[in-house]
Structure 1
Amino acid sequence: MNGLINYMSCAALWLGLLVKAPDLLRHRRDPYLRAICAVLGLAGLCFLLGAPPTVGAVNELSGVPNLAAPLTYAAITGYCAASQVLVVHWRGGPRVRRTARRWALSYAAVVLGIAVTFVLGDAPVERRTDLDTYYATTPFIAEMIVLYLLAHLTAVTVTTLTSLRWARRVRGGLRAGMTLLGIGALCGAGYSVAKLVAVGARWSGRDWSALGTTVSPAAAGLGALVTVVGVLVPLVTPRVSEWRLAGRTYARLWPLERTLDDLLTRRALRLPRPRFASPGTRLVWRRTSIHNALSHLDAYFDRDLYDRTRAGVLAATGDPERAEAAAWAAVITDAVRHEADPRCEAPASRDTGPPLDRAPGQAALGRIADVLGGAPAGTAPVPAASAVPSGTTTAGTAGTT
C-alpha cells in the first residue's frame, strides 16, 4: 500500500492527459489545451515523484540524500505555474499572454529559490514521508519547504475561486466541469494547509507530523481524482447527449421498420445488423434499411391516396407536418400490401396519379413512425445543445430527427 495513493492519483491524472492528447495534437497552438495538458501532466508527475518508493529510488540513484524532495517541489511549483496560466486563459482579456508570462516567470523564480535553498541547506538523513516536519527547523531547508507550500496554496486558491466564479456563468457539462475543477483545487489546498499546520506545530515544539503523512496525501489524492473528472466531464457530456439522442431516435423509428420488415427480409434489402455498435451506428443502420425499402416501394406509392389522406388530416388538425406524416404512413402501408400481393396489378398499370416528387426526409421519418406506432407525430423532445470549453472539439450530433 506504500505509495499506492500517489501512483493511483498519477494514473488518474495521466489518463485525463491521454484523453486530451488527441485534441492537443490537432490544435497544437491552442494555449488553453497546452495549459490544461500541462496541468494534468505536471500534477501526475508530482504524485509520481512524491511516492515513497520513487523517493527512495531517486535518492539511491543520485547518491544525494533527499534529492527527491527539491525535484518533487519543483514539479509541484511547475504544476502551480501551469494552473495559473490556465486560469489566465479562462479569464481572457487583452493582456492574457503578458499575465501568463508573469505567472510563469514568478514560479520559475520559486523553482530557482527551491534549488538554491536546498544547496545551501543540510539534509543528510533521508526522509521519505516526513521531510517537511523533520527538517522544519533546519536553516534554508525550512525556507525551501515554506516557499513551495505557499506557492502551491496560492495557486490552488486562485484556481478554486476562478473556477467556481466561472461555473456560475456557464451551463451544462461545462458548468459541472468547472465546479468539479474548483472542488478539486479546494481539496488540493488541503494538501498545503495540512503541511503548513504540521510545520507550524514543529516550530512550536509539537509533533503533528501525521498531518503531513496521512491527511495531506489523502487530500491531494482526492483533489487529483476530482480534477480529472472535472476535465473529462465537458468532453464526455456532449458525447453522452449524442448517444442518448441517437438511441431515442433509433427506438422511435422501430414502428416504421416493423411495417417494412417483411419486405426487407423477402428482398434482402436489410444490411447485416451491427453488433456491439454505438447508438449512432445502429441508428444509421436502421435508417439505411428504411431508405432501401422506401426506394424499392417507390413505384407502388399512390399519389391520390397521399393527397386524400393529407387533405383530410390537415382539415381535421390544421397541422401540416402531422398531415404529411399521416399521408406517408397510409401510402407506405398501402405500397407494402400491394408489393407483397402477387395478385396485385403491376405498378405501371395502377392509376396512381402523378408520382410523388420526393421521398420523406430524415426529419419526416420520425413523424411517420409516430403515426404507425399510434403516437401523435412530432412529439419526441429534442435536447438542448451543451456548452464546451474553448479549445475542445465535439462530434456533430448524430440521430437528429
Structure 2
Amino acid sequence: MNGLTNYVSAGVLWLGLLMKAPDLVRHRHDPYLRTICAVLALAGLCFVLGAAPSVGAINEVSGVPNLAAPLTYIAITGYSAASQVLIVQWRGGSPERVRRTVRCWVLAYACVVVGIVTMFVLGDAPVERRTDLDSYYASTPYIREMILLYLLGHLTAVSVTTTSALRWARQVHGWLRAGLTTLGIGALCGTGYSGTKLVGVVARWFGHDWSALDRSVSPAAAGLGALLTVCGVLIPFAGPRLTEWRAARRTYLRLEPLERELDDLLTRRALRLPRPRWASPATRLVWRRTSIHNALSHLDAYVDRELYDETLRAALGTTGAPERAAATAWATVIVAAVAASARHETDHPAPVHLAGESDWFLDRAPDPDALVRIADALAAAPLVPDTVPGSRAMTAERSSPA
C-alpha cells in the first residue's frame, strides 16, 4: 500500500486551498472564508497523516507504536468540526445565533479530541498497524473507544453536511445549487468512509475479519468524497467567474465584424492599442471596445446624418424592431464614414470636419450592447434594404475584394 490515493486526494484539496489563498490574504478577517480554508487544509492533512508511508514515518520517528493513529483521528475530528461550522455559516441567521451554534460544535468536537487522546494514553496498542488499525484493535479496551469516538464524530459531521447541503440545494439556483449538490454528494461519499469502517469494527466484535473494508473501500470512498468536496466548495466561487469569462469571450467574438470593418482606419491612423497577450477574456474585450471607440471618434469628420436617418426609417419599416433598425443604421453610416475617410485621406493629409456634423458619433456613442448589435448587423448580408438611397452601391463596395 503506497498511499497514492491519500496523497492525490490531499493534493486536490490543497490545490483548492491554493486557489482560495489570494482571497484569504485580502480578506483575512472574513470568518466564512477562514472556515472554507480550514476545511480544505484539515481534509488534506487527514489524507496525508492517514497514508501508510506517513503512518510508518510518524511511528518510527516518535518511537511510539501507532502514534499516527490518534494524530490522524484528531485531524479528522478537526475537519468534522470545521465542516459543521461551515454549514452553520452557510445557513446564516442572526450573528448571535450563528456564534452560539459554532461554539457548541467546536466544544463538542473539542471533547472528542480530548477523549481520543485520553483513550490512546490509557489503551495498549503495541503492534503497528498501518492500514487496518481500526479493525485490528476493534476489541481492545480504550483503543476501541478511541476508534468509536472519531468514527461517530466523523459520521455525524458528514451526515449533517449531506442533509443540510442537499436540502438547501433545493431552495437555491445556479452555481450555488450546483456547489451545494456536489458538496452534499461528496459528504455522502464521506459517510462511506466512516460507515464501512464501523461495519468492519462491528464485524470484528462478532469474530469476523472484514479488514478489507478498512484497507480498500474506506480509502476509495474518502478519496472520491475529497474530490467532490473541494469541487462543491469552489463551484459557487469559480462558477460566476467562469460565466463572466464566457460572456466576455462571446461578446469579444461578436464584436469582431465591427473591428474588422474599422481595421484599415485603425491601422492608418495608429488608433489601436497594443493587443494584450495572455490576457483574460474580459481584458481582451476592453481592448477591442477601446479600439472601436477610438475609431468611431475619428469618424466624426465623415458622418452622413442624412444616410443614418434614411436607413433608420427603412429598417424600421422592414423589421419593426427599433434596436435592430438603429443597429442597421449605425452599421450603414459606419461603412460610409470609413469609405469617406479613406477617400479624404488620399486627397488631403488632414481631414476637415463636415459643417454641422462635428462630434456626431461622440454625442450618440452606442452603449456596449448596441455595439454588439451593430457588429451583428455588419455580419449580416445584405447590410441594409435596397430602398435606402446609395445602399446598393455601399453593399457592393463592402462585398468587393480589396
1:395: which partner in 2? none
Residue aligning to 1:64: 64
Question: Hey, what does 1:164 align to over in structure 2?
Answer: 166
* Percent identity between the two aligned chains: 71
Structure 2 counterpart SS, 1:277? coil
1:295 equivalent in structure 2: 297
Q: State the one-letter code of the partner of 1:22.
A: P
Question: Structure 1 residues 25 and 276, CA, compared in 2 at 3 Å: closer, same or farther?
Answer: closer
CA distance in 2, matches of 1:376, 1:31: 58
Q: How far does residue 27 in structure 1 lie from its aligned partner after superposition? A: 2.2
Structure 1 residues 354, 68: closer, same or farther in 2, change over 3 A? closer
1:367 and 2:351 aligned: no
CA distance in structure 1 between the partners assigned to 2:252 and 2:92 by the alignment: 41
Deviation of the 1:198 alpha carbon: 0.7
CA contact (8 A) 2:300 2:353 kept: no
Q: Deviations over 1:282-304 (max 9, x none)?
A: 22222222122112211111222
Tell me the matched-pair count.
377
Partners of 1:297 and 1:336 within 8 A in 2: yes
Match in the other structure for 2:84 = 84
Q: When the two structures are superposed, what TM-score results if normalisation uses the length of structure 2?
A: 0.88
Give 1:29 shift. 2.7
Which range moved further: 32-41 or 197-206? 32-41
Is contact 1:300–1:335 with CA below 8 Å preserved after alignment?
A: yes
Distance 1:292 1:122, change over 3 A: same
Q: Equivalent residue of 1:341, what SS?
A: helix
Is 1:36 paired with 2:42?
Answer: no
1:301 touches 1:355 (CA, 8 Å); kept in 2? no
**Structure 1 partner of 2:109:** 107
Q: Distance in 2 between matches of 1:354 and 1:308?
A: 20
Structure 1 window deviating more from structure 2 (100-109 vs 224-233): it is 224-233
Alpha-carbon deviation of 1:51? 0.8
- Given residue 358 of structure 1, which amino acid in structure 2 is its aligned partner? R
- Counterparts in 2 of 1:190 and 1:375: CA distance versus 1, 3 Å: farther
Name 1:143's counterpart in structure 2: 145
> Which string of whole-angstrom CA distances, capped at 9 and with x for unpartnered residues, describes residues 225-248 of structure 1?
111111121222112211211111
CA 1:375–1:49 in structure 2 vs 1: closer, same or farther (change >3 Å)? farther
The 5-angstrom pairing of residues 357-396 of structure 1 reads: 357-374=363-380
1:301-336 CA distances to partner (integer Å, 9 max, x unpaired)?
Answer: 122222332233335444332332222222211111
Which residue in the other structure is 1:74 paired with?
74
- Among candidates 224, 235, 251, match of residue 249 of structure 1: 251
Could you tell me which residue of structure 2 aligns to residue 21 of structure 1?
21
Taking the aligned partners of 2:266 and 2:255, their CA distance within structure 1 comes to 15
CA contact (8 A) 1:77 1:110 kept: yes
User: Is 70-79 or 248-257 further displaced after alignment?
Assistant: 248-257
Q: CA deviation at 1:358?
A: 3.1
**Shift of residue 185, structure 1, vs aligned partner:** 0.6
The 1:353–1:142 alpha-carbon spacing in structure 2 relative to 1, beyond 3 Å, is closer
Gaps of 5+ in 2: 384-402
Which segment drifts farther, 344-353 or 327-336?
344-353
**Retained in 1: the 8 A contact 2:39–2:79?**
yes
- Between the aligned partners of 1:241 and 1:233, the Cα distance in structure 2 is 11
Bigger CA drift: 339-348 or 181-190? Answer: 339-348
Deviations 1:162-200 (A, max 9, x none): 000011111111111111111111111111111111111
Q: Choose the corresponding residue for 2:229, options 211, 227, 230.
A: 227
Quote the residue 2:10 is aligned against.
10
How far did 1:90 drift? Answer: 1.9
Q: How far 1:258 sits from its partner (Å)?
A: 1.8
8 Å Cα contact 2:301-2:358 kept in structure 1: no
The residue type equivalent to 1:134 in the other structure is Y
Larger RCO: 1 or 2 (CA < 8 Å, sep 6+): 1
Distance in 2 between the 1:6 and 1:108 partners? 25
Deviates more, 1:253-262 or 1:218-227: 253-262
Give 1:353 shift.
5.3
Q: Report the counterpart of residue 120 of structure 1 in structure 2.
A: 122
How far residue 15 of structure 1 moved from its aligned partner, in angstroms, is 1.0
Given that 1:303 and 1:355 are in contact with CA atoms closer than 8 Å, whether structure 2 keeps it comes out as no
Q: Which residue of 1 aligns with 2:186?
A: 184
- Where 1:152 maps in the other structure, the secondary structure is helix
Asked whether the equivalents of residues 136 and 142 of structure 1 are also in contact (C-alpha less than 8 Å), the reply is yes
Asked whether the 8 Å contact 2:80–2:158 carries over to 1, the reply is yes
| 1:337 maps to which of 314, 336, 339 | 339
What SS is found at the alignment partner of 2:139? Answer: coil
8 Å CA contact 1:302, 1:355 repeated in 2 = no
Query: What are the equivalent positions in structure 2 for 1:277-288 lying under 5 Å apart?
Result: 277-288=279-290
Moved more, 84-93 or 99-108: 84-93
Task: Tell me, yes or no, if the aligned pair for 1:304 and 1:352 is still in contact at 8 Å.
Answer: no
Cα RMSD after superposing both structures: 2.1
Match for 1:302: what amino acid? D
